[in-house]
Chain A
Amino acid sequence: DAGVIQSPRHEVTEMGQEVTLRCKPISGHDYLFWYRQTMMRGLELLIYFNNNVPIDDSGMPEDRFSAKMPNASFSTLKIQPSEPRDSAVYFCASSFLGGGSYNEQFFGPGTRLTVL
Chain B
Amino acid sequence: AQTVTQSQPEMSVQEAETVTLSCTYDTSESDYYLFWYKQPPSRQMILVIRQEAYKQQNATENRFSVNFQKAAKSFSLKISDSQLGDAAMYFCAYSPSGFGNEKLTFGTGTRLTIIP
Contacts and interface: CB of A to CB of B under 8 A. Distances in A.
Interface of A: 31, 33, 42-43, 45, 48, 50, 55-56, 89, 91, 93, 95, 97, 102-107, 109-110, 112
Contact of B35 (A45, A104, A112): A104
Contact of B52 (A45, A55, A91, A102): A102
Interface residues of B, number: 22
B108 A42 contact: yes
Interface of B: 33, 35, 37, 42-47, 50, 52, 91, 95, 97, 99, 101-104, 106, 108-109
A103 B44 contact: no
Contacts of A95: 102
Contact of A103 (B37, B91, B104): B104
B44 A110 contact: yes
A103 B102 contact: yes
Those 8 A-B pairs whose CB atoms lie nearest each other, nearest first: A107-B45, A103-B95, A43-B106, A42-B108, A103-B33, A110-B43, A109-B44, A31-B102
Contacts of B47: 104, 106
B62 to A, nearest CB: 18
Contacts of B108: 42
A95 B35 CA distance: 14
A103 B43 contact: no
Given A43-B91, A103-B97, A93 B106 contact: no
A97 B99 contact: yes
9 contacts: A31-B102, A56-B103, A97-B99, A97-B102, A102-B50, A103-B33, A103-B101, A107-B45, A109-B42
A95 B103 CA distance: 10
A104 B94 CA distance: 10
Nearest to A91: B45
Contacts of A89: 43
